[in-house]
A and B are shown apart, each in its own frame.
Chain A
């Protein structure tokens, strides 16, 4: 009984060391079974040490040692597998052998065997695909119990003289079996706790990071500016619950939210030495407010007490701004938020670069619209002027109207920055154009319009119909020796689950060929813009029956997600 208590006392010291070690990164490899060599080596070193530690803490009894060496060997095998178990057991065993005594050989053999037993259980659970089971303290208890009984049997079998061995086993068997089994269980329980804490933090971290990432998507669509930065700062502030969040460019504060927002005003020039240093050197600056004191450079009464400044980097590594996380004086910076902050800066940098890319793409789209507008070809203009010149002789009133149509047509071409117009507005633009073409091709062109009135107030991208009509006349009806007929249709189409808006321009020439890169540019842009905005299933489709008709069909969704 006395031996049991003494051994348990030793065990306590042993476990305290284990507990302290569990607070260090040394323990990290133990909580995940990766099967990598680094994990195996870490297990080997750690548990060999525990094995040796167990031997040192042993009680000398009857020229032998009552000890807790078995914990290291069994745990090593359990967590590291048979090879590690064997190695740990052997190391611990050789060390024990070096201490001498009549059980030295027996102990060496038994310790090695114990390591192997732990390892075999590891292998068993691995094969069954239930490796997580080894983290259960009861399993550790059971296997150590079994291993200790085996050890006692080995001592009886190997140690000489047998009488002495028998006496020894009688006195140490129970204490050692109890102490080692209990110790292994507690050891495993410490590992299990560590694992649980880590997973909890890890989950919290990834959840927060994911939510921020999700909410940040598309915020920088319109560029890195005060408005978008304020949005991101708000998101970070809400998700991380830090004291304050600020985003700056290289000169001034673009956004600030949280404690001290009364004096950290947007547009204020950066004065913090740490921020300037982060910008200068492109390095993360952390001022904890304790080892390095932190004082807000704007206001002495500021409650902020610590700051993390993370530079925002271009693809080529140049700094273009910073993200700053603050905590007030009475609160400590959590490591979680520190590492999160660094990840966030990366996320924001990427989002900004993506935003810039999208913006440039939009600019290209914009210039494509301008190109469409510029496509008002001189041939059309001079022919129109010629028509007006002729009409002026006979019908000055009509000439005046044509000039008005022409100026209306050019004026709407110049409204370059509007992305969307109603169908009614697009039709007005088209009408000005058609009035002129009807005058030019006086005796050779007729136009019919069949538009569902409910369509008129719907929004469509600018220059959707105009290029189609121009195309139908230029490459269609105007090439006919006989009568040219142009039909413009607009209607709703119920298709499977959704209502489509369909716009059609039909000519009776049937000349359409697959567009070469230059001639079909106008139509390609119309199609591309619709697809960009509404999705790949919409857009422009050309159908043609040679010498019969040519039909340009545009489909759009009635309820576009774009509006939401």
Chain B
């Protein structure tokens, strides 16, 4: 059989990235460029850091064909633990962080135990942890806000990496950000070349060169636009580092490891996965345990950014995280979805929130728009698939 040597870029794969750019540009026009300002670009990262962290963990749950509703409450609970340890017990910050992570781990194992060993539907288990976690948070904090948290701690949520500022135009520009952008660009280009060579080596169809170039240019423009804005502000926020590391790790796990492949297989067909030697109980257990740990990370970041622990923290975060996964192309039935997709989904929600706030729409209107976007994105995805099939 004659093999096709080139194949057009699957635009659906990049549809969500294009949607993100489109949404961003629409709000840029509506707010006369206010959402493009260096300070606002920085805000976008700071405001959405924890949603991205949660979306990464949630994607694994979604891949198994389930969700975790307890995420928002666990963020609040771990945040509360941090506040109490630092403010009431005056213990060192690292103790607070470790305790928060352990609470996240245990709460995740708690969910994992019920889901895997007792085969209770995750929807029910996490609905329960959502209620219990929130109630526990109110009890621990006595319904009061605990703060303020010290500067060394708030660095996690509101701090920046060291900067080397040099005068540029009206203000200054941070050379560290520029160097990071440069390194990122080189890595992206090298990776593309490597992928293409690999495909050619195995005789796979490759995309036409002009399409590859356009794709690469778009990615590089986004990277440089983004980092140049950060450079004009305070440099690279520490939250971005946490996000970047987590996204990198989980992208690697889902795409390159046996564990990742097992999650996809389980979500695609649990019975076949089981008969292929995959311990489906164990996969469920670790997916939910992992979610618990990431809730703790998000809880730490959120309380650091707010410089306090509040009982209402994280309210509705589970919905943002779940919506991010679905907007990012994950299938409700499980087995389909990517980390990068979930991150892009989170940013679409973030850019929408941020843009609407800048434009002066109330949070009530924002909810209507977000709901419509979620429904629209998933409808378009499913209907287009049905036509194909």
Say whether A associates with B. Answer: no
Chain B residues in contact with chain A, CB under 8 A? none
